[in-house]
Copies of this chain bind each other. A is one copy, B any other.
Amino acid sequence: MTYHAELAELGERAVKAERVLGRASTAVKNKALLLAAEKLKSGQDAILAANATDLEKAAANGMSVSMQDRLRLTPARIDGIAEGLLQVAALPDPVGDVLDGGTRPNGLRIVKTRVPLGVIGIIYESRPNVTADAAALCMKSGNACILRGGKEAINSNKAVAEVFREALDEAGLPADCVQLITDTSRETAAEFMKLDRYVDVLIPRGGAGLINAVLSQATVPVIQTGTGNCHVYVDRAADQDMAAKIVVNAKTQRPSVCNAMETLLVHADIADVFLPRICGELLSRGVELRVCGRSAEILTASGFPASGFRAASESDWATEFDDLILAVRVVGSLGDAIDHVAAYTTHHSEAIVTNDYNAAAEFQLSVDAACVYVNASTRFTDGFEFGLGAEIGISNQKLHTRGPMGLRELTTVKYLINGDGQIRE
C-alpha cells in the first residue's frame, strides 16, 4: 500500500525515534516525564489559551454542556495531569525484564525479555487529558506514539503535545517520540489505521462507534478497549444487604464508565423480597428501571409504583447504557444467570453475590470475561485499583492481554539466544 507523504513521514520519524527511545535508560525517560510535568505547570497559560479557543468553537458549534466539560482544562485539571506524569515516572520500568529462559541441551542459552511494542497509534475523542496520559505511558514503556485526537480538541492537543516534545528534547531524547496528527479529517484517520508499515499497534479510546470504525478499517493490529456491558447476579444464597450495597455502587457510583453495571440478574427464590427493596433504592437514586415480565409482576404485586419501571426490550439486555439506566431480569437458576451473561457479555467485568461456595466457583469458572468478581463491585476493574498504576485502557478482547492495561501490557517479548557456533543437525 502507498501512503500519503505526510503520514508516511510521520511513520518514518516515529520508527526512527523509537530506535532511540526503546533503548533509553529508565533515568532518562523519567527525566523527560518530570520535565513534561514541570512544563505543563509553567506553561499552563498557553495551554489554557489554546483550550479556550477549542471551547469557543465548541460552544459556537452547539456542543453539549457535558461534552464541553470533558473538553475543558482548568489550572486544577492541568495540575492533576502533571501529577499523573509523576506517578508514571514512579512506576517500575518493564523494559528489559527477564521473563523466562534457560540453557538447551545443545548449550544454547535462551533469555526471553520484555521489549517495547514499538510505535503505538492512539485514536481518541475530545478529552485533551488523553494526550498527556497516553504520551506518558508510551514514553515510559519505550514506545513512540502517534496521537490522533478529536478535531474539537485540536488546539489543546497541540499545546499539550508540544510540551512533551520540548521535554523529550531537553532530556536528550528525540522529540518525535510523541507526534500528533494535526489533520483531523476522517480520510487521514482512515489511512492512519492502515499504516501497518510503521505502526505496530493501534489503541482506540472512546465510544463504541469509534472502536467499531477502527476494527472494521484497520490493518494495524488493534487492542480493543472499554466496551463494558457488565452484569451483577444476585444469587439465592446472597447476603442481601451486601448485594444491595454492591448493586447500588456498581450502578450509581459513576454510571458513565465501562465497569459500571448495566444489567442486574436476580435469582427467582429471593426476587420477591430483594427486587422491591433494590428497585426502591435505585429509583430513589434516579435510576431508570427496564425490567423483565417476571420482575414487573413482582414489583406490581409488592405495590411498587407503575411509573417506577418499564418493560425491557430485547435490545436493553445488549446495551451499555453508560447512564442511570438499569436492565433487570429474574433468572430461575445459577445456570440461567450464566447463560444470560454468556449471551450478552462484552467480556469485561461480571459479578456474583453469593455465600454459596459452589455457586461462586461455578460462576468464576464459567463466565468468560476479563474480570469475574465474587462479592465485590464491578467498579474495581481499573489499573490503579489493581495496583498496576496508570492504565491506557481496559482490554476486553482476548488477544495480547485482558483487563487493565498498564506499562507491562505496552510491551512485547524478544528472545535473546547466545551460542558458541551451534548449528541445526
User: Could you tell me which A residues sit within 8 Å of B by CB distance?
Assistant: 19, 22-23, 102, 104, 108, 110, 115, 117-118, 196, 200-201, 215-216, 219, 221-223, 239, 242, 245-246, 248-250, 253-254, 342, 360, 364-366, 368-377, 379-381, 385-387, 397-403, 412-424
* Contact in complex: B424, A403 (CB < 8 Å): no
Question: Which listed residue, B102, B253, B419, touches A423 by the CB 8 Å rule?
Answer: B253
Q: Of B239, B242, B373, which one neighbours A417 at CB under 8 angstroms? A: B373
Instruction: Kindly list chain B residues whose C-beta atoms are within 8 Å of the C-beta of A250.
Output: 423
Whether the pair B102, A376 counts as a contact (CB closer than 8 A) is no
In the complex, what residues of B have CB within 8 A of residue A387's CB?
102, 104, 110
If A19-B342, A102-B387, A413-B401 touch, does A423 touch B117 (CB 8 Å cutoff)?
no
Contact B375 A419 (CB under 8 A): yes
Contact in complex: A376, B104 (CB < 8 Å): no
Give the docked Cα–Cα distance between A118 and B398 (Å). Answer: 8
Q: A118 and B400: CB pair below 8 A?
A: no
Residue among A22, A216, A379, A386 with most chain B CB within 10 A: A386
Quick one: closest B residue to A117, CB to CB? Answer: B398
A253 to B425, CA, bound (A): 8
Closest CB-CB distance, A234 to chain B, in whole Å?
Answer: 13
Instruction: Please tell me if the beta carbons of B377 and A424 are within 8 angstroms of each other in the complex.
Output: yes
Beyond A19-B366, A399-B200, A412-B399, is A422–B222 a contact (Cβ under 8 Å)? no
Q: Tell me, in angstroms, the Cα distance from A290 to B51 when the chains sit together.
A: 58
Residues of the B chain whose Cβ atoms lie less than 8 Å from the Cβ of A223: 399
- A379 and B418 within 8 A (CB): no
Q: Are B222 and A221 in contact (CB under 8 A)?
A: yes
On whether the beta carbons of B421 and A374 are closer than 8 Å, the reply is no
- Evaluate contact between A414 and B375: CB separation under 8 angstroms: no
Is the Cβ of A386 less than 8 Å from the Cβ of B118?
Answer: no
A-B pairs with beta carbons under 8 Å apart, 10 shown: A242-B420, A249-B423, A253-B424, A372-B416, A373-B417, A375-B420, A376-B419, A377-B422, A380-B417, A401-B412
Q: What CA separation (Å) do A108 and B246 show in the bound complex? A: 14
CA distance A263 to B42 in the complex (A): 52
Report which of B364, B399, B414, B416 forms a contact with A221, defined as CB distance below 8 A: B399
Q: Quote the shortest CB–CB distance from A401 to chain B (angstroms).
A: 7
- Distance in Å: Cβ of A329 to nearest Cβ of chain B: 20
Expressed in whole angstroms, the Cα–Cα distance for A422 and B419 within the complex equals: 52
4 closest A-B pairs (Cβ-Cβ)?
A376-B419, A249-B423, A379-B424, A242-B421
Q: Is the CB of A369 within 8 A of B421?
A: no
* A116 CB → nearest B CB, Å: 9
Q: A414 touches which one: B372, B374, B399, B420 (CB < 8 A)?
A: B372
Whole-angstrom distance between the alpha carbons of A60 and B223 in the complex? 46
Known: A253-B424, A416-B364, A418-B374. A104 touches B399 (CB 8 A): no
- Is the beta-carbon distance between B421 and A246 smaller than 8 angstroms? yes
**CB-CB < 8 A to A221: which residues of B?**
221-222, 397-399
Q: Are B201 and A398 in contact (CB under 8 A)?
A: yes
Return the chain B residue nearest A247 by Cβ: B423
Closest to A218 in B: B219
Q: Nearest Cβ distance between residue A324 and chain B, in whole angstroms? A: 16
Chain B residues with CB under 8 Å of A219's CB are: 215-216
Measured CA separation A386–B109 after assembly (Å):
10
Q: Which residues of the partner chain B approach A420 to less than 8 Å between Cβ atoms?
A: 242, 375-376
A382 (CB) vs chain B CBs: closest residue: B424
